[in-house]
Amino acid sequence: MQYGWLSIIPPILAIILSWITQEVLLSLFVSVFVGATILTGFNPLTGFSETLNTYIVGSLADTWNASILVFSLSIGGLIGILSKNGGTNGIAKLIVSKAKNSKSTLFATWLMGILIFFDDYANTLIVGNTMRSITDKMKISREKLAYIVDSTAAPVASIALVSTWIGFETGLIRDSLAKINIDLNAYSVFLQTIPYRFYSLLALIFVLIIIFTGRDFGAMARAEKRTYKTGKVLDDNATPLVSDEMSSLNTKVKSERWYNAIIPILSVLLITVVGLYINGGGLESGSIKDAFGNADSSVVLLWASFGGSLIAAIMTLMQRLLSLKEIVDAWVSGVKSMTTASIILILAWSLGGVNSDLGTAEFIANILKSSLPAYLLPLMMFIIPAVTAFATGTSWGANSIVMPLAIPLAIQLGGTELLVPTVGAVLTGAVFGDHCSPISDTTIMSSISSACDHMAHVKTQLPYALTVALVAILIGFIPVGFGISPYISLLIGTIVLFGILYFFGSKVTEEVN
């Protein structure tokens, strides 16, 4: 059955209600209920039953979702131990001793986000949780932290040469090419698209410009000014996506040793990298990139989070910093701190299931797709997945729908020369839409790990994301439609972003010594 315009009601309702009520849980639940009611012939009783039995329980029945949920909870438990055994304070003191001011602290946050390139979920949870106490000490708003975490998650993972995204992206490219009998190496096409990922690349560059100029504008400037003047990292009315359990995990130990946090965190990274290689087939897969592409990252992330927790517990016991009971209590408190965030993730996945059954993404793509001149195809193939990902909260879903449409259009309108920029536009357009969406899992997880009010994160990030997207469109996707080199676009785009920040931004904080 085709639901047409009815299919966009749930995601639009979720977005509008989130903005109006500031209650993400209620907004998501109502949207799932409305969507389920539409699917059941407008019977609210059946719709309510389907909301609970089919969509909420169904989202938990999915092994990927269940693994990511348990991973998020166990990462919370790991951070609980690291907070209680003094490791978090130890690493904070170490980095603060090196980071003499807010600028170097923010750069360290950005750099950590770049280095954790292999998975966007691991990126958001590890960077935000690790740097939160340090940025708090440096009078950096939680909104700024969440923005940097979010801007170095999917933008990095989606263009990394080896990541959990590789198999998905190259698989889409390979399948779409095969359906139109084009014999090209999908990984080679993927590599060629990297310079055309204008939004992803310029988003990373824009964060650096903000850090080193010390300038901000719009809602972010107001948040930074609040934190610098009052010391409040959150607004008085904010509801951070980490409960009081995490905030109350103050250490009792006298020796706050940095390596009690560094070693477990590095172990999470090491287990993830090695686990991806092993789970993806190891030597039998042929290469590291193939192994990473074939791996089930949700399973590997579980190995890593529990492995990190175990290592943290053993180190704490060996040093007699805490008793076994205190370690378990700290881990459980850390898990409890993720309760609200976990419910939001479950409801976001439930809404994704409703959208899928309604055919929301397909409807949006078909509405926006029309006969186009060849030079506008990269632009349109940036906008279509962006709108789709924004409405549905998933970049992977948007890519899955749009890529099979984009590749045949590119070949038909411009041959293989138009193929690469078009594919690049689709992949980065989905990242942009996902980056802006309040119902996106990575946007939510950035708020979680940064302990930031979710809607405050969305409101402060949105002007920056839209600015980068506008520059990507005007300096990137329109010119490449006429054959301009992407490297020229990236250079000019960087200069334009600097100019925008210089003329419209202002320094709202002074360096904190």
Q: For residue 379, what pLDDT is reported? A: 95
Task: Write out the DSSP string of 112-153.
Answer: HHHH--S-HHHHHHHHHHHHHHHHHHTT--HHHHHHHHHHTS
How far apart are alpha carbons 110 and 291 in whole angstroms? 27
Q: For residue 248, what pLDDT is reported? A: 53
Specify the pTM: 0.77
Q: For residue 251, what pLDDT is reported? A: 62
Q: For residue 513, what pLDDT is reported? A: 42
- Residue type present at position 70: V
Task: Write out the DSSP string of 191-240.
Answer: HHHGGG-HHHHHHHHHHHHHHHH-EE-HHHHHHHHHHHHH--SS-TT--B
- Residue type present at position 105: T
Q: For strands 215-216 and 506-507, give the pairing.
A: antiparallel
Query: Around Cβ 366, how many Cβ atoms within 10 Å?
Result: 13
Q: For residue 369, what pLDDT is reported? A: 63
pLDDT tens by residue, the chain, 513 residues:
778 899 989 988 887 887 787 677 888 899 999 999 999 999 999 999 999 999 999 988 888 788 878 888 888 888 889 888 888 778 767 766 777 788 999 998 998 888 887 778 778 888 888 888 889 988 899 999 999 999 999 999 899 876 768 777 887 888 788 878 888 878 788 989 999 999 999 999 999 999 999 999 999 999 999 999 999 999 988 888 764 455 555 566 777 788 898 899 889 889 988 988 888 887 777 777 777 767 777 788 889 889 999 999 999 999 989 999 999 999 998 888 788 778 887 888 888 888 888 988 778 767 766 666 888 999 999 998 998 889 888 888 888 888 888 888 888 777 788 999 999 999 999 999 999 999 888 899 899 889 999 999 999 999 999 999 999 999 999 999 999 999 999 999 999 999 999 999 999 755 444
Domain boundaries, given as residue ranges, for the chain: 64-140+244-340
User: Kind and range of the H or E element at 306?
Assistant: helix 297-318
How far apart are alpha carbons 497 and 376 in whole angstroms? 23
Among candidate residues 422, 504, 441, the one with its CA nearest the CA of residue 467: 504
Q: Which residues, 6 or more positions from 392, have their beta carbon under 8 angstroms from its beta carbon?
A: 11, 352, 355, 360, 361, 398, 437, 439
Q: For residue 243, what pLDDT is reported? A: 47
Q: For residue 87, what pLDDT is reported? A: 85
Query: Around Cβ 171, how many Cβ atoms within 10 Å?
Result: 15
Buried b / exposed e over 23-33, threshold 16 CB at 10 Å, is: ebeebbbbbbb
